[in-house]
Structure 1
Amino acid sequence: MKRIKRFFLILTVILGYSCSSDNGQTNTVGGPEPTPEPTDPTVLQSDAATITPAETEQNISGFGAATVFRLNSPLTTSDMDKLFGNDEGEVGLSILRIRVAPDDNARAIELEHAQLAAERGAKIMATPWSPPAEMKTNNDLIGGSLKTESYEDYANYLNDFAAYMETNGVPLEVISIQNEGDYEVSYESCNWSAVQVRDFMRDYGGLITNSKLMPSESFQFRHEHTDLTLNDPVAEANVDIVGGHIYGTAVADYPYPLALEKGKELWMTEHYSTSDRSANLWPDALLVGREIHDCMTIGQYSAYIWWYGKRYYGFIGDGEEGTSSGVVTKRGYVMSNFSKFIRPGYTRIDADASPQTDVFVSAYSGEGKTVIVAINESDQTKEQQFVITGTNSTAVTPYITSSSKNLEAQETVDIESSIDAFLYLLPPNSITTFVTEN
């Protein structure tokens, strides 16, 4: 009996001091884990994210926000610098969405915003919330429909607005015929059926020659709102870009195969969320980055346009909900991980979209550079290897937005030339943009 007790005492002492690991290292039980062996950067990893610049996807038209209905609080020059400038501490947006305003005062404010954005290199998109009241069935800016006998007048009205903008130094990139024509609301609006959209685009879209043309923007990017238009050869010929919003839209419904089959660019022209209130909350703000990732990789959209650029839920604050007026928010810095580096004219290229759990990757090329955007939604650091096939670049510069960083440049990382790859530790709940250095 004494021998048995002595055996268990010795065993307890041995286990209390050490145990043998699989690699022969000895650890103290209850002590720190052994330092893992560094990953060999010259060896390809099974969960590497492969970037293939030779395999191209959609063209990128840009990233933007709206400044509509700002009658009592127009944005300042400083605000527009923060949103559309591309220097340090600026978001670098490249698209402004304005309203086709029916009255002169509102139109002048929209023009001023457009001029300020255009001076900073932005494209301008215009959206009407309603045709003039006299053109509508209820003679009101709220609700109702465009009278059939007013179709031609309305086409000329939109074309004249585009001419007005160009005369004042701001040619439009695109004008749509209606904001959310498939959604009945109690503010400035107009209801459009799919048949009305098709008939207008078919019979009168050709009159709009001073800008590219977009059909009515569905509030949920409902395909049925524009399918009839795209399936009518005459109407389809008048469509340059198909736009829509993603309020409540399932990610699985982002793709629009018919529009892509017809060779049309897809623009996500409005979305926002106030569910987390302040745009400075983290990691809530990172959700915008994931949404942009899904829009680019799943939806194959060429443009992503947020709702208000200046608001407590926007890219610069307005002084409410813990934001400072005119100061870039966390959401703004997340957006800038895309918008500052992926410029109009870039192309999305093939990349492994989710190389490991909670890591999401998209990639783009332009101006001789490869840009990789990696999101780590985990609360753990993730080691991620990136392979850029056929690259001539020797290094990348990372830019990180996280709970403690606002698009901060990090030390360059060498690309291992033998395998065209580099390793990086993605911080918890972060978005990192890598830009190749030649």
Structure 2
Amino acid sequence: MGRRLALALLILAGGCATRSRRAESAPVAELWVTTGERSRLLAREPDLPIHMGAASAQAVIDVDETTTYQSIVGFGAALTDASALLLGRLPSAQRDTILRELFGPEPGIGLSFVRVPMGASDFSTRHYSYDDVPAGARDTALAHFSIDADRADRLPLLRRALALNPALKIVASPWSAPAWMKSTGSLIQGTLRRDAFAPFADYFVRFVRAYAAEGIPVFAVTVQNEPAFEPADYPGMRLDAATRAELIGRHLGPRFAQAGIATTILDWDHNWDHPEEPLAVLADSAARRYVSGVAWHCYGGDVSAQETVRAKHPDKDVYFTECSGGDWAPTFSDNLLWSVRTLIIGTVRTGARGVALWNLALDGRGGPHLGGCGNCRGVLTIDSRSGAVTRNEEYYALAHASRFVRSGARRIASSTGVAGLETVAFRNVDASKVLIVANSAATAATFVVRDGTRWIESRVPGTGVATLRWR
């Protein structure tokens, strides 16, 4: 009798354990939220059960992995001289902790798309190029070419970032050709001299090879940062569409091909308000052969311009390469929502494979800088005296994508505008799915995510952002 009772209890216990294991393995979705009033900042919420069958709800966001779009390179920001200097000055242990957070896998946010200036930008402490010679001299053989200016901070930081995230992709942009190549004989203003097209193409070759020799592959280059703008107090260079087409089609593209360089070439690298500029370059058959895609900035026009160009050239990639926050927009909730709606959801829904904001880090005075923007905000603010780090709204906007959407993911279809909620969805290589939801309304919204025959009920706070991840 005792043995029978013991056996019965053992069977009962086994059944309970089996049911417990089944309950533990029931599928769930992870939920992460950031609120406009900052009470929750990329905060993990309780997991959400995944149900089978029909969902009865008014606000249904359909996610369809059978409809796929572009593959994703990643999300990130620019490692300017200012950003590199501030990060490089941190004590080594603190610096490595921050780099692990920025570029490492979870709990890091996994940034994987970084832009670097080729030479000085306005966020440098001096104006320079990689081939500076005395005024009036020329160096067509590039005998004085050197990336030594990058050795103290930028190169070590990039190597560490690549070690933390081998999928990291780097896009490089010159703010100006060397002064001796320009009509002004200066890094300030002017355009490229016609007799400097070939040396400027060689300048790119030397740069890509020099970075490769340092263990840093350059994924893409743009031929000129903001080529329709000639700033008066920091390096810049005007290159109209005809000039860019000739430079790419007859010099840079063939030179890369001859040198066996696989780095891709992107056109434009300027605002949404002039889609006719990249369209003119792509209308040139020689340039079109070598242009892999178009890069965009946010300071004019509307994100729909990306789709305007992509619709005419669906074989060309789209990248978003610059947007800065600043003192002109001081409200956290407004900036968070605009950044997610426009720079994460908007750019990706109009084709972007990579999204890079402007300075990865600035100090509390929006510097260091020499000319240009005096009130810009970095993704991080680093106190130049104490080393204290503040994560700004742009950090959380990026992190809601970069932490969960891995390199190689594909955008998949998701309904947007349901109950005023804007969305974008992805399928990672590991088959996990990610949905980013932005709620501009002041009140929280409850919605259902429908994924085939499965559904998830969730909630996004008012003036908040949510990221869901499930399998």
The 1:51/1:143 distance shift into structure 2, 3 A limit, reads: same
In the other structure, the counterpart of 2:242 is: 195
CA contact (8 A) 1:51 1:351 kept: yes
What does 1:236-247 correspond to in 2, within 5 Å?
236-247=288-299
Query: Which segment is superposed worse, 77-86 or 252-261?
Result: 252-261
Write the deviation string for residues 154-187 of structure 1: whole angstroms up to 9, x where unpaired.
1011011000011110111111111001112121
* Equivalent residue for 1:206, pick from 243, 246, 254: 254
2:160 alignment partner, SS class: helix
Write the deviation string for residues 242-290 of structure 1: whole angstroms up to 9, x where unpaired.
11212122244342335762411100100112145568x3353232111
**Deviation at residue 206 of structure 1 after TM alignment:** 1.7
* Equivalent residue for 2:422, pick from 336, 360, 363: 360
The 1:382/1:216 distance shift into structure 2, 3 A limit, reads: closer
Distance 1:426 1:158 in 2: 46
In the other structure, the counterpart of 1:179 is: 225
Write the deviation string for residues 363-389 of structure 1: whole angstroms up to 9, x where unpaired.
000221111111122121211011012
Distance 1:87 1:172 in 2: 25
Residue 134 (1) aligns with residue 191 (2): no
Residue 381 (1) aligns with residue 439 (2): no
CA contact (8 A) 1:218 1:225 kept: no
2:466 alignment partner, SS class: strand
Residue 268 (1) aligns with residue 302 (2): no
* Equivalent residue for 1:424, pick from 439, 454, 458: 458
The 1:235/1:54 distance shift into structure 2, 3 A limit, reads: same
CA contact (8 A) 1:137 1:144 kept: yes
* Equivalent residue for 1:83, pick from 102, 121, 127: 102
CA contact (8 A) 1:221 1:244 kept: no
Structure with the larger RCO, 1 or 2 (CA within 8 Å, 6+ apart) = 2
In the other structure, the counterpart of 1:52 is: 64
Query: Which segment is superposed worse, 165-174 or 239-248?
Result: 239-248
In structure 2, what residue type is equivalent to 1:361? T
Residue 64 (1) aligns with residue 76 (2): yes
Distance 2:311 2:290 in 1: 13
Distance 1:51 1:72 in 2: 39
**Deviation at residue 57 of structure 1 after TM alignment:** 1.5
1:51 alignment partner, SS class: strand
The TM-score normalised by the length of structure 2 is 0.72
2:291 alignment partner, SS class: coil
Write the deviation string for residues 223-246 of structure 1: whole angstroms up to 9, x where unpaired.
222222211222111112211212
The 1:257/1:216 distance shift into structure 2, 3 A limit, reads: closer
Distance 1:69 1:221 in 2: 28
Write the deviation string for residues 395-424 of structure 1: whole angstroms up to 9, x where unpaired.
xxxxxxxxxxxxxxxxxxxxxxxx411111
What does 1:135-174 correspond to in 2, within 5 Å?
135-174=181-220
Unaligned runs of 5+ in 1: 1-39, 390-418
In structure 2, what residue type is equivalent to 1:304? V
Write the deviation string for residues 316-375 of structure 1: whole angstroms up to 9, x where unpaired.
22239xx97334334312321101111111111111011112x11110002211111111
CA contact (8 A) 1:118 1:124 kept: no
**Deviation at residue 92 of structure 1 after TM alignment:** 2.0
**Greater than 6 Å deviation, 4+ residue runs:** none
Distance 1:433 1:373 in 2: 4
Instruction: Kindly name which structure, 1 or 2, has the bigger radius of gyration based on alpha carbons.
Output: 1
The 1:294/1:262 distance shift into structure 2, 3 A limit, reads: closer
In the other structure, the counterpart of 2:355 is: 304
Unaligned runs of 5+ in 2: 1-51, 89-94, 120-128, 131-146, 365-376
**Deviation at residue 105 of structure 1 after TM alignment:** 4.1
The 1:199/1:309 distance shift into structure 2, 3 A limit, reads: same
CA contact (8 A) 2:336 2:396 kept: no
**Deviation at residue 85 of structure 1 after TM alignment:** 2.3
In the other structure, the counterpart of 2:397 is: 334
1:374 alignment partner, SS class: strand
What does 1:313-328 correspond to in 2, within 5 Å?
313-319=377-383, 325-328=388-391
The TM-score normalised by the length of structure 1 is 0.77
In the comparison of the two structures, how many residue pairs are matched?
363
RMSD, matched Cα: 2.4
Q: Percent identity?
A: 21
Distance 2:210 2:346 in 1: 36
CA contact (8 A) 1:128 1:178 kept: yes
**Deviation at residue 107 of structure 1 after TM alignment:** 2.9
In structure 2, what residue type is equivalent to 1:282? S
